[in-house]
């Protein structure tokens, strides 16, 4: 049987341990909340996970120089996943670096129901994403298309005049896919 002093020591030890565990749990909880801004900061620094954000600094850029001495061929590609018909209004266009250009894409919801969709851009060659700046793009937001609706959507862009001289062609490709597509029920369920 424990003496009263030993019981007091055990209780003091238990209280001390409970306090330490509470502090550790509170610190872990706080760290969980700190992960979100840390993740955003890391993504911002590394350029990861920024596919649908406006290109930084385009509105503020003082782009008064158009390089008329050369042209870059921009090829437009469109892919659709799900019940959408999606295509550029033109397949290619020659632009001068520094020149603000607008192209249009058409999307049609071929379903008898409303569809929410998102477009994700990609570039070829890979290093082109450093020099291709979208000022306005339908890919910045989700699109809601009513049944059988067709929509014309603009992409306003500029190719940075600092693009390498050997970069003669840039391909802008979009994949447009349905968000929260209805799940089909399998026959065995």
- Written as tens digits, the pLDDT of the chain (189 aa) is 778 888 888 889 999 999 999 999 999 988 888 888 887 787 777 766 655 555 555 544 444 588 888 999 999 999 988 788 999 999 999 999 999 999 999 999 988 889 999 999 999 998 888 899 999 999 888 999 999 999 999 999 999 998 999 999 999 999 988 887 665 544 444
Q: How far apart are CA 158 and CA 2, in angstroms?
A: 81
Do 38 and 93 lie in one domain? The reply is no
| Residue 111 near residue 83 (C-beta atoms within 8 A) | yes
Structural domain range at position 15:
1-49
Which region holds residue 57: left if phi is over 0, alpha if psi is between -120 and 50, else beta?
Answer: left
**C-alpha closest to that of 169 among 61, 98, 75:** 75
Within-domain flag for 187: no
Write the DSSP symbol of residue 140: G
Do 165 and 96 lie in one domain? The reply is yes
Within-domain flag for 157: yes
Query: What's the domain count of the chain?
Result: 2
Within-domain flag for 137: yes
Do 112 and 43 lie in one domain? The reply is no
């Amino acid at each position: 049987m424990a003496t009263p002093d030993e019981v007091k020591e055990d209780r003091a030890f238990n209280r001390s341990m409970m306090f330490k565990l509470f502090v550790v749990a509170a610190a872990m909880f706080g760290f969980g909340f700190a992960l979100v801004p840390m993740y955003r900061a890391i993504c911002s620094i590394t350029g990861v996970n920024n596919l649908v954000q406006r290109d930084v600094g385009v509105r503020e850029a003082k782009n008064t120089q158009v390089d008329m001495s050369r042209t870059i061929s921009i090829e437009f590609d469109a892919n659709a996943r799900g019940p959408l018909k999606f295509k550029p209004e033109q397949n290619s266009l020659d632009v001068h670096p520094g020149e603000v250009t607008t192209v249009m894409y058409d999307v049609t919801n071929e379903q008898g129901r409303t569809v929410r969709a998102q477009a994700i851009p990609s570039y070829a060659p890979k290093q082109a994403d450093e020099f291709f700046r979208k000022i306005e793009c339908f890919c910045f937001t989700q699109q809601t298309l009513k049944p059988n609706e067709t929509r014309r959507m603009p992409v306003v862009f500029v190719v940075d005049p600092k693009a390498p001289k050997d970069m003669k062609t840039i391909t802008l490709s979009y994949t447009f896919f349905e968000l929260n597509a209805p799940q089909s029920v399998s026959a065995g369920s």
